[in-house]
Structure 1
Amino acid sequence: MRSLASAAYATACLLCLQGCAGWQSALDPKGPAADELAWLIWFFTGLCTLVWVLLMVTLIAPLLMGQRGGTEPLALDIGAERRKLRMVGAATALTAMILIGLTVLSFFANRTLAAIGSDAALTIRVTGHQWWWEVRYEDATPSRILTTANEIHIPAGEPVRLLLTSTDVIHSFWVPSLAGKLDLIPGHLNVLDIKADRPGVYRGQCAEFCGAQHANMGTFIIAEQRTKFDAWWNDQLKAAAAPASEEAKAGAELFIKRPCVMCHTIRGTPAGGRVAPDLTHIASRQTLAAGTLTMSRGNLAAWIADPQGAKPGVHMPMVELDGDQLNQIVAYLEGLK
């Protein structure tokens, strides 16, 4: 029985520790902001554990010591009362010192976080929608301003400034491995500075309940070497690729004739909708529907045919298409890389 209990305890510990790593864990930092926050979390946790242990010892010790025999229960021991008063005073002073110390630590941590983006060369505006992320890369040259969706590419090892806002309700942007969470508020602009120490893919999530599909409002920050990032940006600035096959050409014509054109933009075509994600290079993304589905021909077809089936409550309407028409549109969108 004892060995079974030990095995169960070890298994429970391992399961708990699984939450301390991975691409969406605040305890697995991959950037200076996350490092500072993780250190603060561990320090607060250790200190609070120590305080709890001391408090339990203080409470349990008198119970174990018991009442000394032969003493009158109602008799007042002046010496003991003074010792108790000194203990309470010392505990009060220690509590005040701990609170002041934690406040000072928080202040210096905030100062460190604020300094991360002081020399940021790249500014990205992230706008929250129900339920996806609009990503706009700012640039002094208007022709180099880029708008995409849900995936945020950044150069590894360089600070990046994110300008956060929303068009509908309050959302919250959180990529635990890179930075803390910050709200996106309609009509207000918040600033979040991030930096990825090394190339990689870091998953983020909306951390503020924002409606039916809050749980399916994910994002990915893709950090890559500067040369690779510049090449990606230049490719994304290009207009949509012309359809290569007859099926794709038929899909392009069908896309323009159907309601899709009222919501989505595909640069280089008459499609100029602004209320849904830009699809100019949709096939270059890793996921669909803000991280809900992995990018594949089958998932693309399923998403177009029945968006409510994959993401109930999403604002994308169902468009009536027969099998051939669906395959044509999918063939067209697959070529938008």
Structure 2
Amino acid sequence: MTGKPSPETLAVQAMHRIDAGTGAVIPPIHPASTYARGADNALIGAVDYRRPEGPTEQHVAEVLAALEGASDARLFSSGMAAGAAVVESIPAGGHVVAQTRMYYGAKALMERAAAKGRIALTLVEPGDTAELKEAVAARHTDLVWIETPANPAWDVVDIAASAEIAHAAGATLAVDGTCAPPCTTRALDLGADIVMHSATKYLNGHSDVLAGVLATRDTGDRWAEICEVHNKTGAIPGAFESWLLMRGLRTLFVRFERQSANAMAVAEAMTGHPAVSAVLYPGLTTHPGHAIAARQMTGGFGGMLSLRLKGGFDGARKLAAGTKLFIQATSLGGVESLIEHRAPVEGPQTTTPGDLVRLSCGIEPADEMIADLKGVLDRL
């Protein structure tokens, strides 16, 4: 082989890390919490304590940094822990601009910080660059937080345009890329300063790990602050969870390709169904954000889509409860297909329409997914 290996190869081979002691092609797990020193008190290896990161976590972070084209990356115990570290890095009273529609947990975290006076928060419509520019310019802004595609309506946000607006005001742009992992979108290449993932989802892909990741373009003051929060709070995944995440990353590209193809087939099949009022999927040319998504998501549009039902709240409940292949459960990005009536899950403060059902397409045959959905929809 000549030249630099592709991101696919880096992921599949875990950066070609061969165990020096055994020659094993699978990276080992290092569960130790502490590491020995020699007679001169010098460390035998590079680590003295597993917080903030042990060897297994460091290896996974290195792979993720390579996939993102990042200067550095850190693993966290969950996507929410990663997002909380970014919020904690904001100076007291600092202004944050985020989206009205985004993952409800991240939005709730920021609203809680704002209610306590920890930050000032302005919410704007996702994808409305004019409103974003106005909000950022209204006062000194420390952080712009966007999510694209935005869960659960899958609004598409222009990362490059958002970066230009944020940087013109001296703000940091952070992107929640959970539903657009680096096999399809490299947010840092598009101008983002920090990219966050709930690694529980596509990066792991097997619904058996809780983890998060932050990756950065530059290792400046903001990143130093985040690393300090990471260390002081100890919000790191266990060694076994990190190893499982590395296991999942090795198949990220092939899983995401299959899931994207399945979601496209489902979206096309659901379009025009008499029980469905709208199909929300950025891969459809009729989606208002399709052109931007096609520019940003070069490896597929992902396995996530939502249906809005003419039967309203009751119709959405019946669809989510009636499928056989699609399992009624929270989360996304796993190899198994999931379905969820989203508004009741988010609770009484939700802004998600009651008629919306969220689908996470796995890697099962697409025709079986379509038959499963139509079998319920045809009865509604």
TM-score, length basis structure 2:
0.30
Q: Bigger radius of gyration, 1 or 2?
A: 1
The structure whose residues are more often helix, as a share, is 1
